Structure 1
Amino acid sequence: MKRIDQINVLPFIDIMLVLLAIVLTTATFIGEGRLEIRLPDSTSQPAPPPPGAVEIGVDADGSYYLDAEPVTTERLATELDALDRSTPILLRVDAAARFEHFVAIVDQLKARRLERLTILTRKS
């Protein structure tokens, strides 16, 4: 019986597919940092606030406000813990505020499953 010497290419194809998936995944993250996004202005008529709504605000300096009263991040977290999941939340963030403040508030709301969120904008 004669032994047949051949190269098995199936493991090579498996490795190449995994490498292709890794390259495609990292390429999307690299390109994301270069996107220039200009947010549109709001042209819709402002809706009246829902009854019983709680307003959370962030000014240009990154200070937090709860119903126009200055609060610390710890007190804001405590107040959010006391809210019912059906409570409407109005979020007003200054245009000059850092985006991380907006993300921090949205993260706190998601962690507490407060999903009735309205983001307030200024009509242009």
Structure 2
Amino acid sequence: MKRFDSINVIPLIDVMLVLLAIVLTTASFIVKDSLNIELPETQSTQAYKPPQEQKPFKLHIDHSNQLFVNETPRNLLELDGIFSQLDSQQAITLEVDKHANFGTFVELVDTLKRHKLHNLTILTQAKAS
């Protein structure tokens, strides 16, 4: 009987790399769809490139007019306190569901302006041709 002095781990590494690739590709879709925000379509939209030097502060308004900060539900009073702690040059991205009330959007933008947070990017979806 042949004795094993070592185990060949190369096939194991190959399998683990394939599993890692599958997890990484599906994880980005899971995060994006967790709030189910349906962005409005525009014809003259540009690709968004986040600033290199800082991570953007993410705001969301879903179809039921619920406000989210990084996917955590918040109300305007809580956001008022959070915004007072942000730097005026902080990059902010805003995703608003196309079925959300315009009034909720206006209240949020007004709160941002009150705190002099003008570095705002409103994300949309390119219209399919």
Residue 47 of structure 1 corresponds to 48
CA distance in 1, matches of 2:94, 2:45: 17
CA-CA distance at 1:74 after TM superposition: 1.5
CA distance in 2, matches of 1:41, 1:111: 28
The answer to whether the Cα contact below 8 Å between 1:42 and 1:121 also exists between their aligned partners in 2 is no
Select the residue among 69, 74, 81 that pairs with 2:72: 69
Residue 99 of structure 2 corresponds to 96
Q: Does 1:117 align with 2:120?
A: yes
**Pair member with larger Rg:** 1
Give a deviation string over 1:90-116, Cα, whole Å, max 9, x none. Answer: 111100000001100110011010010
Runs of 4+ in 1 over 4 A off after TM superposition: none
CA distance in 1, matches of 2:69, 2:112: 13
Q: Does 1:108 align with 2:111?
A: yes
Letter in 2 for 1:116: N
Letter in 2 for 1:55: K
CA-CA distance at 1:73 after TM superposition: 1.8
Other structure's SS at 2:42 match: coil
CA distance in 2, matches of 1:98, 1:42: 22
CA-CA distance at 1:77 after TM superposition: 1.2
Select the residue among 61, 82, 87 that pairs with 1:79: 82
Answer with 99-108 or 73-82: which moved more.
73-82
Q: What residue ranges of structure 2 are gaps of 5+ in the alignment?
A: 1-39
Q: What is the root-mean-square deviation of aligned Cα atoms in Å?
A: 1.8
Tell me the TM-score normalised to structure 1 length: 0.63
Q: What residue ranges of structure 1 are gaps of 5+ in the alignment?
A: 1-38
Answer with 87-96 or 47-56: which moved more.
47-56
The answer to whether the Cα contact below 8 Å between 2:59 and 2:67 also exists between their aligned partners in 1 is yes
CA distance in 1, matches of 2:60, 2:41: 21
CA-CA distance at 1:123 after TM superposition: 1.6
Tell me the TM-score normalised to structure 2 length: 0.61
Give a deviation string over 1:20-76, Cα, whole Å, max 9, x none. Answer: xxxxxxxxxxxxxxxxxxx97234442222232101110010100011211122111
Aligned residues: 86
